[in-house]
Amino acid sequence: MNISMRLFVTDAALRKGDPKRQLVFKALCALEEAVREAERGKVHPSLGLRFALAYLYAVGERRREWFDRQPYVEFWQLATKEDAPTRGGQTMAGSARLTGLTSSINAIGRAAGIEITPDVGQKLRRAVDQVDSNKPKKAASSDV
């Protein structure tokens, strides 16, 4: 998961905002990237994903109740468990997994101070798209 190293926020409001808000946005982008990976199957339990979840938990509002950890734990478990791909919700299990990931990222964002509205969700997807378009292309087998 390289998103944390190469993500540049293009939204003017976030660029001019405070650094904490920018870091929260970037951490949410890392989770959005994990959701995309989950569409293809199991997400590799990387240090980047662990750090994003830990950072968002650290800055999030909590009431010191057991259920404060729930969205973070659920996101981790749903993303990293071996499961059928979720693309298009082709199976009931895949659809439930994608719904759980979406619900968790919404709760995590809300706790960290960024409500995941449709507009914010689109900005997250655009930021991940921008990083994906900058990734080096893998060499085709005929190029080797």
The answer as to whether 2 is a domain residue is no
What average pLDDT is seen over the chain? 80
* Residues in CB range of 70: below 8 A, 6 or more apart: 107
- Please write the tens of the pLDDT for every residue from 60-81: 987 777 678 899 999 999 999 8
Please tell me the least confidently modeled range out of 9-13, 32-36, 66-70.
9-13
Identify whether the C-beta of residue 33 lies closer than 8 Å to the C-beta of residue 1.
Answer: yes
The 10 Å Cβ neighbour count of residue 144 is 5
How far is residue 71's CA from residue 76's CA, in Å, rounded to a whole number? Answer: 9
The answer as to whether 41 is a domain residue is yes
The answer as to whether 3 is a domain residue is no
Q: Find the domain containing 49 and state its range.
A: 11-133
Q: Could you tell me the pTM of the whole model?
A: 0.77
The structural domain count of the chain equals 1
The answer as to whether 97 is a domain residue is yes
Question: Directed axis angle between helix 70-80 and helix 92-112, to 10°?
Answer: 140
The answer as to whether 128 is a domain residue is yes
